[in-house]
Chains A and B, each alone.
Chain A
Amino acid sequence: MHLTSNLIEVEDSWEAVNDWFLNERLSDGLPIVPPTVERVEKMLSATSRDPAEVIGSIPPKWAPCSVEKIAINAVMAGCSPEYLPVIIAAVEAICEPRFNLYGVQATTGYVGPALLLNGPIRKSLKVNCDSGVFGPGFRANATIGRAIRLILITVGGGYPGETDRSTFGWPGKYTMCFGENEEKSPWEPYHVEFGFAPDQSAVTVFGINGFLPIHTAGNRGEQALASLAEVIKMHHGVSHLDVGSFGGGTPLIALGIEDAEIMARDGITKKQVKGYLWEHAALKFSEIPARRKGHKSDEDLMRESINITPDGVVHLSTRPEDIMVIVTGGKHRHSVFLPMWTGRNTLSVIKPIIEN
């Protein structure tokens, strides 16, 4: 196998290697697994793709990200070789223009890529889709997401305080990868909505900038949905309308399995969940104080914002179908709203995972 990356010679100790990566700002701050030639070659054995194949350019450096570079970062993150096809597909996804990776990397906001996995690969890689799905304890979840972050730092040059201008960052920028709990969902899996067969595997990337837990209320499906809409509506106005932050994009709702069960039991479909949230997790334009409208006039905002309907309502997204709904996690009445970075600045992208 022919590798083209520079070989760096460092004292043969775990501490020296980690110090080198930290000093070169090629680390996320956590200890890394030293990417030796042997480890990188073993990682690459999980794909038949040419190590030199460039998957995309990673901003703000706009450096070419080859399969070899992905493998190096996967080793550093602690990935098992069979994770590599997922990471390659995720890099393809974040490099799609609609994801706006340059903005995601450089903004003062908090956004980072979050990876949703669907299909049989969740089982073969033991991706957690159940209790504690957004938390620790599972190698695939922890290291696949981390590999993406390391690629953004080492290949893209997105370093906090320099090129990554995020005011706060957020813990999801270390790693964020999770699976849909397809087995316990009453509805069709997320990727099937987008034309994939149930037995295909797919990764979807979302530019997520937060996490709003919602303990839903009521013992009927409609009540659960209403309580969800109420809390999302409260979150809705977190920025200025003139920069597109009131609505837009492809916001993600992660329904806990119990909320989804109750809704489905009472005859509510996933499409109806989206329609209800679009209609009710919304604000009247007239209710938004002027200070939140930024520097533009009401007339300009009404004309320019694609999320305001002619009846003067600012919706969660431009269209009901742009609200992304998944079912994940364990039991009890918890769901999560994962807002996307400012409106349409970033849009979700789904890609097939090719295992070979």
Chain B
Amino acid sequence: MTLCQSIFMELARTEAKFFGLAQLPLIEVPHHPSGGAREGEHRADAEGAIRALGEKLTLRPSGQMSRRVGPDIQAE
């Protein structure tokens, strides 16, 4: 499982293929740290990534997750 900023998704897919891991699960992070994200968008990216991570690790949709994943982030 790899987190990847949108700009680098193509690189990640291609590199995964190079290493024989074409099915490597990738989680896309929309905003680059030095990009033009608005207030709160990085936090939303992080929350989204945690949700996606949970889904991919448990193979369940995020709605079925109930455990607490951070001090302020309550997954559904």
Which residues of A come within 8 Å of B, CB atoms?
60-63, 106, 108, 157, 161-163, 165, 239-240, 242-243, 294-295
Contacts and interface: CB of A to CB of B under 8 A. Distances in A.
Contacts of B34: 239-240, 242-243, 294
A66 B18 CA distance: 18
A157 B8 contact: no
Contacts of B10: 161-163, 165
Contacts of A62: 18-19
20 contacts: A60-B18, A61-B18, A62-B19, A63-B18, A106-B11, A108-B32, A161-B10, A162-B11, A162-B14, A163-B11, A163-B14, A165-B7, A165-B8, A165-B10, A239-B34, A240-B34, A242-B34, A243-B33, A294-B34, A295-B33
B58 to A, nearest CB: 30
Most central of A108, A239, A242, A294 by chain B CB within 10 Å: A108
A108 B7 contact: yes
Interface residues of B, number: 12
Interface of B: 7-8, 10-11, 14-15, 18-19, 32-34, 42
Contacts of B14: 60, 157, 162-163
A28 B8 CA distance: 21
A326 B37 CA distance: 40
Nearest to A242: B34
A63 B15 CA distance: 11
A60 B16 CA distance: 10
Contacts of A157: 14, 18
Contacts of B15: 60-61, 163
Contacts of B11: 60, 106, 162-163, 165
